[in-house]
Every structure is written in C-alpha cells, then in structure tokens.
C-alpha cells in the first residue's frame, strides 16, 4: 500500500480525493467518496468494515500501527522504520471510512452546499490532514 500511495497514480488519487473532500456538493458525493477510499485502502482491512465514528476510527488506526501491538508484518515495518507508523496509521484510518464517520455530523440532515460543508468540517479536516501527510505535506 505504501508503494501504491507513493506512486504517481497514488499521489494523483490523493490530490483528487483532497479536492473532492474540500468542497463536496452533496452528501451523496461524500458517501460515494468514502466508499471509494475505503475500497482503495481495503488491503489494510482484512478484518472487515469497522463502521466506527471518527474518534474510534482514529484509535483503531493508531493501534494498528503501533510497533508493539499491530499485526506481525506491520510491527516489523514499524520497528525497522519507525517513521512509517504515521503513514500506516493514516492509510488504516482511510481504509475504515464509512457511514459511521458521517452519521454523528449528518444525522437526519438534508443539508447541501456550504451548510453541509460546515457540518462536515470536524470530519473532513482531520481526513485532509491524513491525506496531506501521505502526500508529504506534513
């Protein structure tokens, strides 16, 4: 996954993803984007779709990338190159995007446009930070 993300097509995918998440027009576009991202990063999620709210998903991703607690192959990578833990955690977080992340902020809302984007800001901003990090911007 690291090689895929760091490749030219992977970086283009991340740039496009950031563009879409920065100014999505509708909730359907956000959900479809989350589904696409979850599928793109699915090799990191052999244990199924977690469907967590963002806070739980962040912890889930951090635990996965811990050098002392994650899967054996991930522990080996993190022990060999500790700086990879943040990238692995970011990819694991993106692999778990789903309705569980959106539900707390869009519960029973039909908002679109700028109102929807204001409601999504607490979810989208942390995701954009992870995408920036994978692009080498942080």
Q: Are 123 and 137 in contact (CB under 8 A)?
A: no
Each residue of 113-123: pLDDT tens digit?
788 888 899 99
Neighbours of 33 (CB within 10 A): 17
Each residue of 37-62: pLDDT tens digit?
999 999 887 677 777 889 988 998 88
Which three-class secondary structure state does DSSP give residue 46?
coil
């Amino acid at each position: 996954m690291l090689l895929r993300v760091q490749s030219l097509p992977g970086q283009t995918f991340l740039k496009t993803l950031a563009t879409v998440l920065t100014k999505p027009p509708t909730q359907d576009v956000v959900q479809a984007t989350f589904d696409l991202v979850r599928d793109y990063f699915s090799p990191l999620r052999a244990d199924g779709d977690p469907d967590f709210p963002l806070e739980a998903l962040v912890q889930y991703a951090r635990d996965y990338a811990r050098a002392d607690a994650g899967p054996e192959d991930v522990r080996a990578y993190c022990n060999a190159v500790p700086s990879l833990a943040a990238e692995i955690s970011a990819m694991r977080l993106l692999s778990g995007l789903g309705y569980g992340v959106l539900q707390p902020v869009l519960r029973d809302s039909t908002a679109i446009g700028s109102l929807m984007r204001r409601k999504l800001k607490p979810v989208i901003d942390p995701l954009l930070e992870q995408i920036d990090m994978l692009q080498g911007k942080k």
